[in-house]
Amino acid sequence: MTTTPYTLPSVDTQNINPESLDSIWPWMGQLFDFRFFAPSTTSDGKEVYPRATVAHKTITYDLVFKWTTTSANLPYEALYEKLETYLGDVSRRMYEQQILPATKDQALIDAYLSAWKRYDYCTSTTDKELNYYNRHFVKRLEDEGQGAKGVDPV
């Protein structure tokens, strides 16, 4: 899933089967990797994180919508499992790339804060893109009498 340098995925998604999470996940993973790991810029002394285009946000919504509405057995939990695994991997990679190399006290604090701000920004953005999915998954669980315990925002 990791691509170097980190780039936005192609907006051409004709070869992606929206009925298969394994087919849409590499595209989504590349988009998430871009957000988390592409170099940030500085504007007026503030760090500016890489942003996806409106087309990429629309495609993410569309792919997830098609997957949830066309999957034969509606494996809703599968996306949460993939996200949980991915975010754990992101945390490890951020730790290894940004925090571990910092050896001085202030450098360590700065590295940690920078990594945390970016992680928070990226997960908040991803959560907003998957809001539709979250709402419908929770509604399905409640309709089935399972409740939404254990389902948290990204």
In eight-state DSSP terms, residue 8 is P
Q: Does residue 148 register a pLDDT over 70?
A: no
Closest alpha carbon to 27 in 42, 43, 13: 13
Q: Does residue 1 register a pLDDT over 60?
A: no
Share of the chain above pLDDT 90, in %: 4
Question: Which residues on adjacent β-strands are paired with residue 48?
Answer: 41
Query: What pLDDT was estimated at residue 74?
Result: 59
Helix (H) or strand (E) holding 44: none
User: What is the average pLDDT score of the chain?
Assistant: 80
Query: What pLDDT was estimated at residue 85?
Result: 92
Residues 92-116: pLDDT tens digits? 998 888 887 877 788 888 888 888 8
| Verdict on whether the full-model pTM lies above 0.75 | no
Residues 34-56: pLDDT tens digits? 988 888 888 888 888 888 888 88
Query: What pLDDT was estimated at residue 61?
Result: 85
Residues 66-78: pLDDT tens digits? 887 776 655 667 8
Residue 135 contacts residue 141 (beta carbons within 8 Å): no
Q: Does residue 27 register a pLDDT over 70?
A: yes
How many Å apart are CA 50 and CA 36, to the nearest integer?
8
Residue with more model confidence, 150 or 81: 81
How many Å apart are CA 19 and CA 77, to the nearest integer?
15
How many Å apart are CA 8 and CA 116, to the nearest integer?
22
Q: Are strands 41-43 and 46-48 parallel, antiparallel or unpaired?
A: antiparallel
Query: What pLDDT was estimated at residue 2?
Result: 46
| Arithmetic mean of pLDDT, 114-124 | 87
- Amino acid at site 115: A
Lowest mean pLDDT among 9-13, 100-104, 122-126: 100-104
Share of the chain above pLDDT 70, in %: 86
